[in-house]
Each structure stands twice: as structure tokens, then as C-alpha cells.
Amino acid sequence: MEKLQKTVEEWKAMLDPEQYNVCRLKGTERPFSGKYNGTKTDGVYHCICCNAPLFDSNAKFDSGCGWPSFYEPIADSAMVEIRDVSHGMIRTEVTCAKCDAHLGHVFPDGPPPTGLRYCINSVCLDLVPR
């Protein structure tokens, strides 16, 4: 996959301040504040930065954590996993494979069939209904 690269100025012009903070600076939206946390709409969630497909709504579940949660990405190649040791803990960060946008983290406490919980910031996503 060819990487999408932009300058800081281009990202700032394209994204609103919260999207920029989360996607480009690895911030986090407040729990239970995101527009997709309780959404049940059928469709595909795309990266807000580059429009790459990331998650199918069929893999979304209510984890109660305050952020949209998915048990698997739309394809293994859609994201990159990075060891994150910030904030005094060890986690696995997930970023968009196409543009390196920070999406959230993946945890090993999800439902079957994968046992994974991709905990994703709503501001990183654009839901395209089917």
C-alpha cells in the first residue's frame, strides 16, 4: 500500500482541531463523547484522514468502554500495530496503514471469534452507510 503523506500544514487545514489532536498527535477523545460510540448503522468505517476502509459495522460491539469497539479490522492490512509504553502502561496502538493516523488501541479482552477489542476514537472515523 502506498503511504499518503502530507505536511503538518496540510493536515491542519484538512482536519478540525480535535481530529488533528487525535489522529496526528496521538490524543484521545473523552469517553462516551464520540458520535459513533452508540451507533448501530450498517456500513463501513473509513479513516477520516485518507478514506481507507478500516472496520465493517458487523464487527462492532458494545464494550461499555466509552469508545466504538470492534473485534476485527476490515482487513489485517488496514492497520499497523505499535507497542505503546506511554502513560505508565504497556498497550498496543493501532494506526491507519495508509496514512499513519492514530486510531486507538487494541486489547485482548474482546468477544469471540477473535477475543480482541479495537478501542477506536470516533473522530478518526467516517461511517459510510450501506
Q: What residues are designated binding site?
A: 47, 50, 96, 99
| Greatest extent of the chain over all pairs of C-alpha atoms, in Å | 42
Cα-based angle 125, 93, 19 (whole degrees, multiple of 5): 35
Cα→Cα distances 113→15, 76, 85, 116, 129, Å:
35, 15, 27, 8, 24
Catalytic pick among 23, 49, 65, 119: 119
Q: Binding site membership for Zn(2+): which residues?
A: 47, 50, 96, 99
119 is catalytic: yes
| Tally of CB atoms within 10 A around 41 | 12
CA atoms within 13 A on the CB side of 92: 11
Distance (Å, rounded) from C-alpha 75 to C-alpha 46? 12
The set of catalytic residues is 119
